[in-house]
Amino acid sequence: MSNIHPTAVVHPDAQIGSDVTIAPFAVIGEDTVIGAGSQIGPHAVVGPHVRMGSNNSVHSHAAVGGAPQDLTWKGEVTWLSLGDNNVIREFAQLNRGTLKGDGWTRVGSHNLLMSCCHVAHDCVLGDHVIMANNVLIAGHVVIEDRAILNGAAAVQQFATIGKHSYVGGLTRVVHDVPPFMVVEGHPSKVRKVNTVGLQRAGYSPGQMEAIRDAYRTIFRTAQPRSEILDEIERSPYLTAEVAYLVAFLRRSERSAAGRALQG
């Protein structure tokens, strides 16, 4: 049995799961699915065309599933999906996709989007992502699992934020952010390995040492990047984590803008 406040506005086409709480003055749009156990806060707006999993928490005044802020969008039906156990804090804004992508903006599970974050059209967020207050993500951005973006960081369109990376506050991201690394600055630069994040995620000392060795070789030598990556790949001691880092960097290097998704 769901608890829907009488002042909430729920479109007749919306599908509301069991044990959902919809607070006063919330609005649920057409063709929207709210999964079991979710909580929609006062004055929050969800939908239209949202597919939300279970046990999500949408706080007051958040806007989940608004129209894409893209001049080429002409009112086509597009969608936003969220997995399970996400927390969307006050005044955060998540837009639906556009037909320039595949029509979807996708958010995984167990993510925390703090107050006033913006997730633009056609973005893809993995799982266990943390976006602190006022983080701004432009269109077509991919954020991989367990990345952390600190307050007021801003990410340019088509950038990829690698898994287990850590983006410092007030950072301007104009290139892809390599996995496992700490980046910060205006524009961003790789500073060190995200050792704390890797420890929290259960990486072994051996795995972390291999990543640190790769970091020193790749980012702290003057040798051409392509030659360094070739040497690392030929190493008999190549680990899965370092191989992932090398493949990520190769994709970024092939792009003139440093953003692999832009080509």
Catalytic residues: 121-122, 139
CA dist., res. 217 & res. 215, Å (int):
5
Beta strand pairing status for 39-40 and 21-22? parallel
> CA end-to-end span of the chain, whole Å?
49
Side-chain half-sphere CA neighbours of 252 within 13 A: 21
Check if the beta carbon of residue 110 is closer than 8 Å to that of residue 86: yes
Q: How far is CA 200 from the centre of its chain?
A: 19
Hey, is 21 helix, strand or coil?
A: strand
Instruction: Give the C-alpha separation, 233 to 160, whole Å.
Output: 22
Q: Specify burial of residue 7 (Cβ count, 10 A radius: 0-12, 13-18, 19+).
A: exposed
d(CA 256, CA 119) in angstroms, rounded, equals 25
* Residues, the chain: 263
